[in-house]
Every structure is written in structure tokens, then in C-alpha cells.
Amino acid sequence: MPTDNPQPLHTPFSAPLYIMAKPAGPSCNLACEYCYYLEKKDLFEPKQRPIMTDATLEQYIRTYIEAQTTNRVEFVWHGGEATLRPLSFFRRAMELQKQYAAGHDICNALQTNGTLLTPEWCRFLHDNNWLVGISIDGPQEFHDEYRRNPLGKPTFLNVMKGIRLLQQYNVEWNAMAVVNDYNADHPLEFYRFFKNIGCRYLQFTPIVERVKPDGRLATPLDNCGELTEMSVTPAQWGKFLCDLFDEWIKEDVGKVFVQIFDSTLANWAGVSPGLCTLDTNCGHAAVMEHNGDVYSCDHFVFPPYKLGNIHHDSVISMMGSERQLKFGTAKSATLPRQCRECRWLFACHGECPKNRFCITSDGESGLNYLCEGYRMFFTHVEPYMDYMKKELDAKRPPANVMQVLEQLKK
């Protein structure tokens, strides 16, 4: 039925609710140059040790499970660096999950820089089926450019040691790589490195950071800010995706899972993309600090986006609050006309609101900084995506596209 309101409905409880937890707050044993999270220390009392107490852990686990409307409940342990907490903390978390499971199917994921992993850690991760996301920015030269410890020393070899341990103990893992000014011009070197080290699940995040005159990173709320040199340019991002896609589509569909390609295909097929930046709205995934404070999104940990505290506010009341609803629907509701009329809107959705600080060709604010790169990418992949969507519609594997490309070569 036609409606006066073309905006999609935001239905916070129709999908699983996610609140990822930061058991060590913003603390980290590394000091990567582009890290947006180390500054979060300023949100807490200087004397407050940023660790999650047992009472906060229990309250979180109990109320988070109770709030879910789906059987599966996913816990994501994030940082800072979560492995700064001892294994006993995570063993206790699992005990509490069992205690409050009430028939739910519970799974855990850990996001880590991998440098503190030990055989004991890996045994725990394997025995309890945890999925591990490792932050690594490609081969040594690329990774070490920005991912350094507080003494300025490179960290690649330590991360690789962690990855080798995970592999030795058969822990399921994926790579989360940041694309920046330094590595963006080498997509194939980057991609082949991951394949060579046996990684089959890859996520890429483009670095887009602005710095204010006082030297602090600009927040999504700041109108001012100079782009940092390590940020990727829109053209670099577009070319990076196109070049990488060209290799993936020929050799690796169905073998290597690149999140942004899978999500793009999902949007082409009209199903949920899984990647929030390419989704219609935000608001399903919040974040909880070590002290129980809950914020709208990991990229919006600022006072105006605080939804409450796990000790005083229920998960349902926070995730279903007017504030979170508004945060979620703002993604589509605040799109400039250029996006609303863009032929790629179905695939792009204006990308992440944190990157919308540019002016459209007709002078409207709110255009995504990476727009040019996304237009380049979507235009480039259109024929392949069309083909794979047809295969999906016919209940055939999208990987058939590789045979077609092979035949065209002959």
C-alpha cells in the first residue's frame, strides 16, 4: 500500500539485539596511530581502573540474554584490547552464560590484536568454539606503518605469532584490516597476503579520520576538522575495492569471504547485508563500556549517544528508546537529495553517518566523504552482481560466475 512516509520502518526487536562489551574499557597494549578508541579514557574518572567488575558482567549477561527475541545470542568481546583481562574473566563469563541461558543458543566472538594470545588462550578459544577477529593490516610493511606499541615499536611479528597459535589450535578466525593511505594502493599484495596465510574471512574498514585544531580526533558531531594524512582518499578506496574484486570474482567466489562483497551481493538480492554501513538504518548494535554505560554504536561513544547504564536501565528500554530509534532511522532520514536520487542508494544507503561530512554538488550537507569511491565500485561490479543475483534467484551458487568468466577468456 502506498504510504506518505517512504522511510523504511525501524523494527528494533525483529532481529537479534547486539550490545558488544568492552571488558577492559579503552585500555590497549598497543597504540595504533589511527585508533579512535584510546581517547575514550577521557570519558571516565582518571582514577577509575577500566575493568569490568563481576557485578557488571553478571548484570550484562543476565539482562542481555533475557532481552533477546531470537534463540541465538551472540556475545562480542571487544576493546581496547579485551585480552588484557585474564582468562579467568572469560571463564566466569561462560559460567554466567550457562547459568542464565534459559535454553538460548549462546556463542562468543572475540576481537583482538592477537599479540597477547598464548597456548592456554587458544585452547580455551578452541574448546569453547569462540570465533576470533584479528586486527591485522596486511603484510609486515603495511601493518607496521601504523600499528605500533606505545614505544613506537612494530607489532606485525607478534600478531603473526598469535595467528599461528590460533591455527595450531584450530581456532576459527577472520581478519579485520584497515585500509589507509599507505596500503590502499596495493590491493592485490594485500589480498594475496591474507590468502597466503590461510585467511578465508576478510573484513576491510577504510580509515576516515579528521583532526580538530586542538589535535583531538573530530567526532561525527564536529563540523570542523582536517582530514588526517593516514585517511584513505575516496578514489583510493574505490580503486582498492575494484582491483580486489577483479581478482576475487575470477578465483575466489565461495572460497574467500570478503564481507563488503558479500554484503553488496546481499543488497543486490534484496536481503539484509549484515554490514551495518551498507544497511538502510543503524541501531541494532550498541556497545557497553566496562562500567556498564551503553552507547548507540561503537563509533558514537559520545555523551549525547549514551543510552543508559546496564545497572539502572533494561536492555529493552535502552535499545528500544526514542533516542536509539532516532539514531537508527537518522541514517536514512537525513540522506541528502543526491543520495535519495542516487541509482546506488539500494546498495550504499549513504554508508556510515560518521563519514557524512561533505557537501553535495547542489550545496547540501551530509554527503558521505567516500561517495566517489562507492560510485566507482558499484558501477564496476554491476554486471557481476546482476549475474550472481540471477544465479541466486535460480537457486544456483553465485560462484558459477567464475565459470562464465573462464569461458569468456577462451
**How many CA atoms lie within 13 Å of 275's alpha carbon, on the beta-carbon side?**
22
Which amino acid is residue 170, in one-letter code?
N
Which of 17, 73, 110, 339: binder of ligand SF4 (CB under 6 A)?
A: 339
> Can you tell me the distance from the alpha carbon of 214 to that of 218, in angstroms, rounded to the nearest whole number?
10
Do residues 180 and 146 make contact, with C-beta atoms less than 8 angstroms apart?
yes
Are the CB atoms for 348 and 336 separated by under 8 Å?
A: no
CB 328 within 8 A of CB 90: no
Collapsing DSSP to helix, strand or coil, 169 comes out as coil
Regarding 375 and contact with ligand SF4 (CB under 6 A), the answer is yes
Which residue among the candidates 298, 313, 362, 386 is catalytic per the annotation? 298
Q: Which of 171, 208, 348, 376 binds ligand SF4 (CB under 6 A)?
A: 348
241 contributes a contact to ligand SF4 by CB under 6 A: no
Which of helix, strand or coil describes residue 53? Answer: coil
- Residues forming a β-bridge with 135: 176
Helix axis angle, 371-393 to 259-269, nearest 10° = 60
Q: Is 219 in the site for ligand SF4 (CB under 6 A)?
A: no
Q: Tell me the site size for ligand SF4, rule CB under 6 A.
A: 23
Question: At closest approach, how far in Å is the CB of 80 from ligand SF4?
Answer: 17
Q: Which of residues 72-91 bind ligand SF4 (CB under 6 A)?
A: none
Contacting range for ligand SF4; rule: CB under 6 A; set: 8-16, 30-38, 166-174, 335-343: 335-343
Which of the ranges 20-28, 105-113, 184-192, 337-345 carries the binding residues for ligand SF4, by CB under 6 A?
Answer: 337-345
In the complex, least distance from residue 354 CB atom to ligand SF4, rounded to whole angstroms: 5
Q: Which amino acid appears at position 368 of this protein?
A: N
Q: Does 297 sit near ligand SF4 (CB under 6 A)?
A: yes
Q: Is 294 among the residues that bind ligand SF4 (CB under 6 A)?
A: no
Active site residue 298: yes
Selected from 21, 93, 301, 352, the binder of ligand SF4 by CB under 6 A is: 352
Looking at 62-70, 86-94, 256-264, 338-346, which segment touches ligand SF4 (CB under 6 A)? Answer: 338-346
- Taking the least distance from each CB to ligand SF4, the nearer of 285 and 316 is 285
Q: Which three cell numbers stand for residue 185?
A: 594502493
Per CB under 6 A, the list member of 25, 114, 187, 353 interacting with ligand SF4 is 353
| CB neighbours of residue 316 within 10 Å | 16
The reply on whether position 368 binds ligand SF4 by CB under 6 A is yes
Q: Write out the binding residues for ligand SF4, residues 94-123 only, by CB under 6 A.
A: none
Q: Any contact of residue 163 with ligand SF4 (CB under 6 A)?
A: no
Residue 332 as a binder of ligand SF4 (CB under 6 A): the answer is no
| DSSP of 97-161 | HHHH-TT-EEEEEEEE-STT--HHHHHHHHHTT-EEEEE--SSHHHHHHH-B-TTS-B-HHHHHH
Helix (H) or strand (E) holding 174: strand 173-179
Residue 99, all three cell numbers: 547459568
Calpha distance 236→286 (Å, rounded) = 30
Out of 24, 276, 307, 401, the residue judged to bind ligand SF4 by CB under 6 A: 276
Q: Which residues bind to ligand SF4, rule: CB under 6 A?
A: 276-277, 282, 285, 297, 299-300, 331, 338-339, 342, 344-345, 348, 350-354, 368, 371, 374-375
